[in-house]
C-alpha cells in the first residue's frame, strides 16, 4: 500500500471519530492494519487526530477542508526526518494542524507564527530529553499531549486528556522500555512446555495478540526444536492471520527474561523459576501429529484461558498483580 493510499484511509476513517480526546482517536486509528508501528503515515495521522478532536469539541473548522490541507502538508514531509533533519514529523504534523486552525502562513504577524514555533520547539525539546531511537508512537504521544495543552489554552474549547500507558512495546523492536515516560511495565508471563514448539508457542502468540496491555508474553522449553510446529503455524495464520514465525522461535528458558509467572502447558515440566507467586498447569493435550480439528480445539482452549486471565486482571485493583488462580 502506498503512502498516498494510507493517507486517504486516514482521512476517511478519522472523520468517523467522535472523541474529543486526540490521543484516544490516535489509538483507534493506529489499530488499523494500514498503520505501521513506525512510518511517515504518522505525519498525516497525528495532526489529523488533533483536528478531529478540535472539531468534535466545538472548534470552528471545516474538517473536510482541514484534513485535505493537512494531508497535503504531511505528504511533503519525508520519512526518517527525525534522524536525518533533527525535526520530528509527528510534532511537525501537529504544528501544521495548528497552522490550519489559525490560518497561519509564513508572513503572519498576529502572534500565531511565534506561538506555533514555541509549541513545536517545546515538544521537540521533550523528545530530545527522552532521546532515540525514534518511536513514532511515543513521538505522537508527546506531540499530542503538548497539542492538547496548546488548544485548551488558546482556542476556547476543551480537549480531553488521559494518563498514557504504552501498548505498542511488544511491536517495537527498538523500544527503550523504562527510559520511555509511557512505558507500561507489565508482569512477564512465560508459557512452558518441553520443546517450545507447539502449545507454548500458541500461548505466547495469543498472549501477545490479546493481552499486550496486561502482561508481556514469553514461551520457552527445557529442550528446543529447529522450528515451530508447522501445523500450528499454518492454523494460527488461518484462524488469526498471525505468522508466528515472524517474531517467535523455539528457545530454552535461559533465553527469556526472568518471568514473574510461569505456566506449564501440561507436560509435567518442573518450571525452574524461584520466588514466583503463582504457578499454574493448564493440563493441555499435545496436538502434534493430530488432525486440524484437534489443533483447533487446543487453540480454542488456550484462547479461553487467556481471555479469562485478561478479564480478571483488567478489572483488578492492582494491575501489577496477576490473579491467575481466580478463574480456576
Asked whether residue 325 carries a pLDDT value surpassing 60, the answer given is no
Report the pLDDT value the prediction gives residue 280, as an integer from 0 to 100: 83
**Mean pLDDT value across residues 286-298:** 95
Asked whether residue 267 carries a pLDDT value surpassing 80, the answer given is no
Query: Could you tell me the residue ranges of all domains in the chain?
Result: 3-174, 188-327
**Mean pLDDT value across residues 20-39:** 94
Residue 188: name the closest of 164, 209, 170, 165 by CA.
Answer: 170
Helix residue ranges per DSSP H, 87-161: 89-102, 112-130, 136-154
Three-state DSSP state, 169: helix
Q: Whole-prediction pTM value?
A: 0.65
Query: Would you place residue 254 in the very low, low, confident or very high pLDDT band (cuts 50, 70, 90)?
Result: confident
Asked whether residue 136 carries a pLDDT value surpassing 60, the answer given is yes
Query: Would you place residue 24 in the very low, low, confident or very high pLDDT band (cuts 50, 70, 90)?
Result: very high
Residue/partner pairs of 160-166 with CB below 8 Å, 24 or more apart: 160/19, 160/20, 160/21, 160/24, 160/53, 161/21, 161/23, 162/21, 162/23, 162/24, 164/23, 165/213, 166/137, 166/138, 166/141
Query: Would you place residue 270 in the very low, low, confident or very high pLDDT band (cuts 50, 70, 90)?
Result: low
Report the pLDDT value the prediction gives residue 320, as an integer from 0 to 100: 45
Is 219 within 8 Å of 200 (Cβ atoms)? yes
Report the pLDDT value the prediction gives residue 154, as an integer from 0 to 100: 96
Three-state DSSP state, 42: helix
Residue 130: name the closest of 79, 175, 185 by CA.
Answer: 175
> Grid coordinates 505468522 are at which residue?
243
Asked whether residue 268 carries a pLDDT value surpassing 60, the answer given is no
- Give the whole-number percent of the chain exceeding pLDDT 70: 91
Grid cell of 293 as nine digits: 480439528
Asked whether residue 281 carries a pLDDT value surpassing 90, the answer given is no
Three-state DSSP state, 298: helix
Q: What pLDDT digit, counting tens, does each position of 146-168 carry?
A: 999 999 999 999 999 888 888 88
Asked whether residue 327 carries a pLDDT value surpassing 70, the answer given is no
Query: Would you place residue 60 in the very low, low, confident or very high pLDDT band (cuts 50, 70, 90)?
Result: very high
Task: Locate the DSSP E strands across the chain.
Answer: 188-193, 216-221, 261-264, 278-281
2 versus 164: which is more confidently predicted? 2
Q: What is the rounded CA–CA span in Å between residue 209 and residue 170?
A: 10
Q: What pLDDT digit, counting tens, does each position of 83-131 carry?
A: 999 999 999 999 999 999 999 999 999 999 999 999 999 999 999 999 9
Asked whether residue 275 carries a pLDDT value surpassing 80, the answer given is no
Report the pLDDT value the prediction gives residue 308, as an integer from 0 to 100: 86
Report the pLDDT value the prediction gives residue 313, as an integer from 0 to 100: 66
CATH architecture, range 188-327: 3-Layer(aba) Sandwich (3.40)
What is the average pLDDT score of the chain? 89
Query: Would you place residue 79 in the very low, low, confident or very high pLDDT band (cuts 50, 70, 90)?
Result: very high
Asked whether residue 37 carries a pLDDT value surpassing 70, the answer given is yes
Q: What is the rounded CA–CA span in Å between residue 263 and residue 201?
A: 12
Asked whether residue 231 carries a pLDDT value surpassing 70, the answer given is yes
Cis previous bond, 169, omega within 30: no
Is 324 within 8 Å of 261 (Cβ atoms)? yes
Q: What is the DSSP letter of 252?
A: B
Report the pLDDT value the prediction gives residue 279, as an integer from 0 to 100: 66
> Grid coordinates 503515515 are at which residue?
41
Q: What pLDDT digit, counting tens, does each position of 293-324 carry?
A: 999 999 999 999 998 888 776 654 344 444 44
Is 91 within 8 Å of 127 (Cβ atoms)? yes
Orientation angle between helical segments 230-240 and 292-314, nearest 10 degrees: 60
Residue 46: name the closest of 138, 134, 129 by CA.
Answer: 138
Q: What pLDDT digit, counting tens, does each position of 183-202 carry?
A: 877 788 899 988 899 999 99
Amino acid at each position: 500500500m502506498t503512502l498516498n493510499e494510507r493517507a486517504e484511509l486516514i482521512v476517511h476513517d478519522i472523520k468517523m471519530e467522535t472523541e474529543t480526546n486526540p490521543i484516544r482517536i490516535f489509538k483507534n486509528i493506529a489499530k488499523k492494519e494500514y498503520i505501521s508501528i513506525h512510518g511517515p503515515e504518522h505525519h498525516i495521522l497525528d495532526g489529523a487526530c488533533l483536528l478531529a478532536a478540535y472539531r468534535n469539541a466545538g472548534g470552528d473548522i471545516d474538517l473536510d477542508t482541514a484534513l485535505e490541507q493537512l494531508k497535503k502538508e504531511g505528504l511533503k514531509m519525508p520519512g526518517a526526518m527525525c534522524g536525518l533533519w533533527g525535526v520530528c514529523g509527528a510534532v511537525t504534523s501537529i504544528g501544521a494542524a495548528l497552522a490550519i486552525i489559525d490560518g497561519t502562513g509564513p508572513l503572519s504577524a498576529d502572534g500565531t507564527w511565534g506561538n506555533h514555533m514555541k509549541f513545536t520547539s517545546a515538544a521537540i525539546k521533550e523528545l530530545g530529553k527522552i532521546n532515540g531511537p525514534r518511536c513514532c508512537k511515543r513521538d505522537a504521544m508527546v506531540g499530542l499531549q503538548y497539542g492538547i495543552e496548546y488548544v485548551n489554552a488558546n482556542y476556547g474549547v476543551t480537549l480531553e486528556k488521559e494518563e498514557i500507558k504504552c501498548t505498542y512495546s511488544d511491536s517495537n523492536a527498538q523500544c527503550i522500555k523504562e527510559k520511555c515516560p509511557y512505558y507500561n511495565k507489565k508482569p512477564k508471563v512465560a508459557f512452558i512446555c518441553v520443546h517450545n514448539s507447539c502449545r507454548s508457542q500458541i500461548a505466547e502468540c495469543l498472549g501477545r495478540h490479546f493481552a499486550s496491555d496486561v502482561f508481556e508474553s514469553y514461551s520457552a522449553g527445557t529442550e528446543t526444536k529447529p522450528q515451530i510446529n508447522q501445523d500450528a503455524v499454518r492454523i494460527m495464520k488461518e484462524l488469526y492471520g498471525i505468522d508466528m514465525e515472524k517474531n517467535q522461535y523455539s528457545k530454552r528458558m535461559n533465553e527469556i527474561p526472568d518471568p514473574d509467572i510461569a505456566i506449564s502447558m501440561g507436560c509435567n515440566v518442573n518450571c525452574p523459576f524461584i520466588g514466583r507467586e503463582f504457578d499454574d498447569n493448564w493440563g493441555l493435550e499435545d496436538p502434534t501429529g493430530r488432525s486440524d480439528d484437534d489443533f483447533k480445539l487446543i487453540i480454542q482452549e488456550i484462547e479461553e484461558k487467556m481471555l479469562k486471565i485478561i478479564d480478571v486482571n483488567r478489572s483488578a485493583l492492582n494491575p501489577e498483580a496477576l490473579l491467575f488462580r481466580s478463574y480456576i
